[in-house]
Amino acid sequence: MSNQGTIRLKVTNGAPAIEKLWNGRFKLEFFCDNNSPKEDWYYKNVSALLPEYGILQTTNFGSGVSEDWEAIPSSVYPDMRLVLAEYPYNVRAGKHYVKLTYETLTASWVEEKDEDTDYELNGLKRVSRTFVALPDTAYDKVVGTSTIDSNGTTLYLGSFRVEKTDAKWSLTEVWLEAGTLSETLDNVGSQRARVIETIGTDPLTPSGYSLASKQEGDFEGFQTNRFTFLKNNVILSESEDKVGSQLAIVQEVFNGTPVKPSGYLLANTQESDVGGIPTRRYTFLKPSVLSESTDNVGSQKAKVIETFSEVLTAPSGYSLASEQVSDFEGIKTNRYIFLRNNVELSRSEDKVGSQLAIVTEVFKPTGDPAETGYSVARTEVSDVDGIPTERFTFLKDDVELFHSEDLEGGLNEIVEEWFKPNPVNERDTKDDYVLIEKTESDLGGIPTERYTFWKEKGLIDESFVNEAEGVIRTTQVFFSEVDDTKVIGPIVSKDTRNIDGIPTITVQTLQGEKGVSIIGEDERLANQYEQLVSFTYPGLVSIQSNPVGPFYTSYAWRLSPPVQCVVEATTFVFFQDSTQILPDDYTYSGASGHWNPTEWAKGESYGLGFGYKPFSESKGFRGYRADPDAIQVYENDPDNYLINGNRLFEDTIGGLNVYGGPEDPSLNRYVLDVKITPAFVDVDGKAGYKKVIVVATIPQQEDTVAPTPIPPVIPEP
């Protein structure tokens, strides 16, 4: 537990002084001795000896005091806080004492004495109250808003004051009855206003008056409301003020309408105030000219006149150029600008096409102006600084304003636009060109004559379509006449037309590739492709021998039949103007010739048969080629023979052979087919033909080996 002082303090003998305060509060006073024999403590260390303000009276004094303190327990009071600590000198005792004063204090405001009441403020009830509390005690009442009931009368908080010390806080409140505190007369402009100060209530508006202003005021330190009342429709002030070259009458009016001076018109109304009183300010002017000046409009001087409610006539030699609603020092006015007629306001040069034109702006021209060596090309409605004018654009005659050349599909087109072309100069003709169109045109609002020329011989359009067999059908459109240097290939179609005076010729030709005719003096390959074609290997005829039993040898023709298959071939497509097949066609692309067998294999057999019967046979083998061979034998013991199944007689001669037919085609290159068919007829009636050559290298034919006969088993006898 903390102490109120050091062990040097000791309560003196005897009871403390006790005082009963108002509202159940008490005040205690103690005197203490200093136990220490030293006397330097009260010079520099007195603050360490005296307790802190606000400490409770029940707090220990220290070890040197407890026995005397406990001897008088009735001296302990609740909520007693230290409010005063003194160090007085007792003359009779010849020493210093410590005097401690305590009062009852809490964290709530407690009235310190009974309230005071008076009626000194215009007969209104006024109550004053005082309170005490611990420091930092909250206070939440609001001046002019918080109220109390005082014996049936509602009072408003007029003011409060809090006095603060480290020991305690003291509060003083003043409460006032709602009502009028004062009523006075005050000058506002040229009028007398009624000013009423109230608290807690708004006063009644005096008869014939209106509220002019309401403000927070201060009456003898109390926050009040200050109401200023003025009679309605009162002119608070009237004065004269310079507006341009005229004197205006200015009236400040409260809550009413002004009195219009004779011969004047209302020129302006504004929100204003006089001495903080809101008013309306009315400015009156006579219909008049407020200002007159000169101003540059383009390169000319104009008369500028500002008037108030007055219509002007144009000064001599002038015309009205512009009339606008304006503002002159806040006054709504009419602004008139006058200019002399037929006045050039501006002059400049402007690009029109490829030429420089003269451009003038004229106010109210009496006619089209003239420029030496020029003609009026265009007239427009314009303005200069808001002044309506006529704008004239001048150009020299016979001037080319536009020129272009366009190479479109091989055709050179020239377009020209001329302003007032001179017929003598024949602008509508041009060497090596044809005029295809002449029109009235417009270039930036300038009327012109437009000429379109095309070259006398020119390709207008060209298109290509792929036909069969690698043929390209080329369509060319020419202007005026055909350019033969651009026509390649046989012409199969030609169409001449004239549309809107434009002659065109459409030509269709056949080309093997773009820019190459399908027919020419040299050979022109149009297309080639691979395909499978039928081919028949010829059969093979040869002589074979076989033993027949143990005593005979048989000789006979052996046949390997023809074989039909497909082989890879290359097809070449040409176009020509002839129907002939040439010898070179059969050796095309390295071919050894045309595969077209003209003979087949043949064979003969002869001899004298058994019983001296002769035999002989001659035979052709269609579709076969021969493996050239011949056999001749002599019949004697032990050699015995059969010729094609005929037994030779003993000691006679017989034989057989085979020969002829085509060569073995294997691994040889041949022309298998040449075909010529009609393809087209040109515009001159001359026919064109398509030639197709088929060439193939024949693959090696498979060879089948004949089986070896197995001799029969001869049974034993």
> What's the predicted TM-score (pTM) here?
0.42
42 backbone dihedrals φ, ψ, rounded to 5°: -85, 0
- For residues 317 and 312, give the distance between their C-alpha atoms in angstroms, rounded to a whole number: 14
For 310-350, the pLDDT digits (tens) are 777 777 778 787 777 777 667 787 888 888 788 887 888 78
Q: Pick the more confident residue, 450 or 385.
A: 450
Which pLDDT score is estimated for 39? 59
Give strand pairing partners of 676.
691
Q: Are residues 592 and 662 in the same domain?
A: yes
- For residues 182 and 332, give the distance between their C-alpha atoms in angstroms, rounded to a whole number: 46
Q: Are residues 116 and 164 in the same domain?
A: yes
In this prediction, residue 65 has a pLDDT band, given cuts at 50, 70 and 90, of: very low
Q: What is the mean pLDDT of residues 220-243?
A: 74
Give yes or no for residue 462 having a pLDDT over 90: no
In a domain, 302, yes or no: no
Which pLDDT score is estimated for 110? 93
Least confident of 46-50, 76-80, 94-98: 46-50
| HEC string for 88-120 | CEECCCCEECEEEEEEECCCCCEECCCCEEEEE
Which pLDDT score is estimated for 47? 63
- Which structural domain, as residue segments, surrounds residue 463? 458-518
- For residues 477 and 460, give the distance between their C-alpha atoms in angstroms, rounded to a whole number: 5
For 101-121, the pLDDT digits (tens) are 889 999 999 998 888 898 888
Q: Pick the more confident residue, 706 or 558.
A: 558
Which pLDDT score is estimated for 291? 77
Q: What is the mean pLDDT of residues 380-406?
A: 82
Q: Are residues 613 and 631 in the same domain?
A: yes
In a domain, 28, yes or no: yes
The beta strand positions in 220-330, using DSSP E, are 222-231, 234-243, 246-254, 265-274, 277-285, 288-297, 300-308, 318-328
- For residues 224 and 659, give the distance between their C-alpha atoms in angstroms, rounded to a whole number: 156
Q: Are residues 447 and 567 in the same domain?
A: no
Q: Are residues 145 and 248 in the same domain?
A: no
Q: Are residues 644 and 673 in the same domain?
A: yes
Structure tokens at 614: 């002769």
In a domain, 125, yes or no: yes
Instruction: Select from 455, 456, 449 the least CA-distant residue to 402.
Output: 449
In a domain, 614, yes or no: yes
In a domain, 379, yes or no: no
Contacting residues for 43 by C-beta, under 8 A, at least 6 apart: none
Q: What is the mean pLDDT of residues 228-252?
A: 75
Q: What is the rounded average pLDDT for all residues in the chain?
A: 81
Q: What is the mean pLDDT of residues 452-464?
A: 77
Q: Are residues 240 and 278 in the same domain?
A: yes
Q: Are residues 211 and 238 in the same domain?
A: no
Final residue in a domain of this structure, among 518, 539, 557 = 518
Give yes or no for residue 572 having a pLDDT over 90: yes
Q: Are residues 504 and 602 in the same domain?
A: no
Q: What is the mean pLDDT of residues 131-144?
A: 91
- For residues 131 and 108, give the distance between their C-alpha atoms in angstroms, rounded to a whole number: 9
| HEC string for 6-67 | CCCEEECCCCCEEEECCCCCEEEEEEEEECCCCCCHHHHCHHHHCCCCCCECCCECCCCCHH
Q: What is the mean pLDDT of residues 568-583?
A: 90
599 three-state secondary structure = coil
Please tell me the total count of domains within the chain.
Answer: 7
Dihedral of CA 630/634/640/644: which sign?
positive
Give Cα 362 distance to the centre of its chain: 46
In this prediction, residue 221 has a pLDDT band, given cuts at 50, 70 and 90, of: low
For 344-375, the pLDDT digits (tens) are 878 887 877 767 888 888 888 888 888 887 88
